[in-house]
């Protein structure tokens, strides 16, 4: 059975927008200055990139927790290349660099968690993979 999600988007001023879900949680958007916005919030494309990193991370962290990995710090650097010459200016390449810190973290566990997230669990990545090349790397430190 498919679940239905609903978002309501309200215009605030200029290109500032606010999206709200059924629970009342919200996120703000704005356009870049170069496109007439005020840059008071992330642009929609920045949210796409952040959503991919967040979706993947939720699964990576959940899997690492199940593997009993003791993480002290975690970060993902998401970088993307965009088509510049014509519209729509979609992402053409995305790279996620996972940085995992903790005592006795098993690099193979990190590799496996990332692989499972990318290939099986992350819905955002599952959608984006149809149209953009997504690569990843990781580093583990104590």
**Mean pLDDT rounded to a whole number for the chain:** 96
Please state, as a whole number, how many other Cβ atoms lie within 10 Å of the Cβ of residue 107. 11
Q: What is the pLDDT of residue 21?
A: 95
Confidence tier at 85 by pLDDT (50, 70, 90)? confident
Contact between 110 and 77 (Cβ < 8 Å):
no
| Tokens (6 digits) for 104 | 């006795």
Question: How far, in Å, CA of 98 to CA of 137, rounded?
Answer: 6
- Looking at residue 80, what DSSP letter applies? E
The model carries a pTM of: 0.93
Q: What is the pLDDT of residue 1?
A: 66
Q: Which domains does the chain have, with CATH numbers?
A: 1-41 (2.20.25), 44-141 (3.30.300.20)
Confidence tier at 8 by pLDDT (50, 70, 90)? very high
Q: What is the pLDDT of residue 4?
A: 78
């Amino acid at each position: 059975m498919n679940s239905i999600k609903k978002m309501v988007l309200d215009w605030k001023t200029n290109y500032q927008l606010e999206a709200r879900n059924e629970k009342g949680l919200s996120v703000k958007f704005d356009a870049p200055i170069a496109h007439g916005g005020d840059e008071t919030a992330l642009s929609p494309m920045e949210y796409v990139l952040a959503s991919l990193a967040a979706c993947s991370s939720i699964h990576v962290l959940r899997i690492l927790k199940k593997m009993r990995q003791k993480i002290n710090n975690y970060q993902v650097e998401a970088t993307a290349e965009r088509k510049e010459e014509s519209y729509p200016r979609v992402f053409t390449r995305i790279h996620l660099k996972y940085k995992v810190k903790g005592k006795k973290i098993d690099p193979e566990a990190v590799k496996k968690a990332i692989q499972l997230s990318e290939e099986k669990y992350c819905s955002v990545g599952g959608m984006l993979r149809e149209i953009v090349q997504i690569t990843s790397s990781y580093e583990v430190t104590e």
